Amino acid sequence: MAKKPYVVGITGGTASGKTTMVERLPALLEPLRVYRFNCDYYYRYGQRLKVVAPFTGIEYKEANVPEALGLKELFHDFEDVCEGRTEEEYDVVLIEGLFTLYLPEIRNRLSLKIFIDLQSDERLIRRIRRWIPQGQTFDEIADRYLDTVRYRHQEYVEPTRWYADLVINGTLSEKSMDIVATYIKADVARQKESAPEQA
């Protein structure tokens, strides 16, 4: 019987530091074997939804609702890795995305739920710094954020902080990363000690 990994879900608003946490944790969790799962890979870019901003009436491509993801494929792949149905066995699975705690199919599988709470103004600045090098203008980024992204955050992301076991306030620090890694290692060890021996 395949060993089931310890699953950590990480969420927060756009540009809050979710991906950064998932990129840094594996080194801190050594020698545990870590699988990184990014929900952004499941966006259906060829089937983009549309949204009309409630106040300006401008139409935007919609990427901030769960339906923008290929949910069937996401749940299938996530179930496989949680059940250990992969070529390699992993001790820890890290899954990050806007809807990690919103979707019960993911949330109910998590051993640890983390919400990164970064102020909206800082997240907006990070979006600007991220997208300007990719060809978007300051006005395009700001308008989209103010017209749609912030409302989707309030609708889908912010309420899920109440599901979290741990809320990290502000920019990720070395200390906060160390605390998370230390807890995960200890919890994995506790689960191994309490797991029944298999014949």
| 118-166: pLDDT as tens digits | 898 899 999 999 989 989 999 989 988 988 899 999 999 999 999 999 9
- Confidence category of residue 170, pLDDT binned at 50, 70, 90: confident
| 65-86: pLDDT as tens digits | 999 999 999 999 999 999 988 8
Q: Is residue 167 part of a domain?
A: yes
Q: Is residue 199 part of a domain?
A: no
Domain that holds residue 61: 6-192
Q: Which residues pair with 51 in a beta bridge?
A: 60
> Under the phi-then-psi rule, with left for phi > 0, alpha for psi from -120 to 50, and beta for the rest, what region is 72?
alpha
Q: Is residue 166 part of a domain?
A: yes
- Total number of domains in the chain: 1
Q: Is residue 198 part of a domain?
A: no
- Confidence category of residue 63, pLDDT binned at 50, 70, 90: confident
Q: Is residue 1 part of a domain?
A: no
Q: Is residue 68 part of a domain?
A: yes
| 16-46: pLDDT as tens digits | 999 999 999 999 999 999 999 999 999 886 5
Query: Does residue 102 contact residue 160 with C-beta atoms inside 8 Å?
Result: yes
Q: Is residue 197 part of a domain?
A: no
pTM of the complete model:
0.90
Write the CA distances from 181 to 34, 97, 162, integer angstroms. 12, 19, 22
CATH number of the domain within which 154 lies: 3.40.50.300
Q: Strands 112-117, 166-169: parallel, antiparallel or unpaired by DSSP? A: parallel
Q: Is residue 120 part of a domain?
A: yes
Q: How far apart (Å, rounded) are the C-alpha atoms in residues 122 and 16?
A: 8
Alpha helices in 29-147 (DSSP H): 71-82, 104-107, 120-131, 138-144
The pLDDT, as a whole number, for residue 11 is: 97
Name which of 150, 159, 184 is nearest 51 in CA terms. Answer: 150
